[in-house]
Amino acid sequence: TSNTALGGSAGSTFEFDLGAVVNLQGAALWNQWGEASVKDYTILGSIDGISFSVLGGGTLADGPDIVSAGTAAWSAVATRYVLMRTTNYGYPNATRFNEIAFDVQSVQAVPEPGTLTLLGAGGITLLATLRRRRGHAQRP
């Protein structure tokens, strides 16, 4: 989430890295007011940051003051990287909003490759040790 005014050019794409793969099921967007405020937005999600799919979106009203949050909801999708594509109310140099919050259902546990390798090597060593001990015990 962010609680400062974020902005870019007209028709901006904002990028977020959630830091881990999570089950994302929605977002809330607090808008600014005026020509630079977000009009339409589309939220896309990705696990790898390369292949994105549309999750949700909506249209926000341009209010006389900071307006309440616009929300979008969808079935939970495994996501780490989020893109938000926007249009505004006609300002050519920026699109701005105040805050965005993501609705995370749960964090997905992803084992590290090094941990799996270490576990496998330990298991193989244990089996080899047990096999050698059995071999010594059976000899006269």
CA dihedral 83, 20, 3, 8 (to 10 degrees): -30
Contact 84, 56 (CB under 8 A): no
Q: Tell me the pLDDT of the chain (140 aa) as tens digits.
A: 444 455 666 678 899 999 999 999 999 998 888 888 899 999 999 999 999 999 999 998 886 665 668 899 999 999 999 999 999 998 888 888 888 999 998 775 655 566 666 666 666 776 666 666 666 555 55
As a whole number of angstroms, the distance between CA 97 and CA 29 comes to 8
As a whole number of angstroms, the distance between CA 44 and CA 20 comes to 16
Whole-structure pTM value: 0.69
CA distances from 50 to 14, 44, 46, 70, 75 (A): 15, 11, 7, 27, 21
CA 65 to chain CA centroid, Å, is 29
What are 43-80's pLDDT values in tens digits? 999 999 999 999 999 998 886 665 668 899 999 999 99
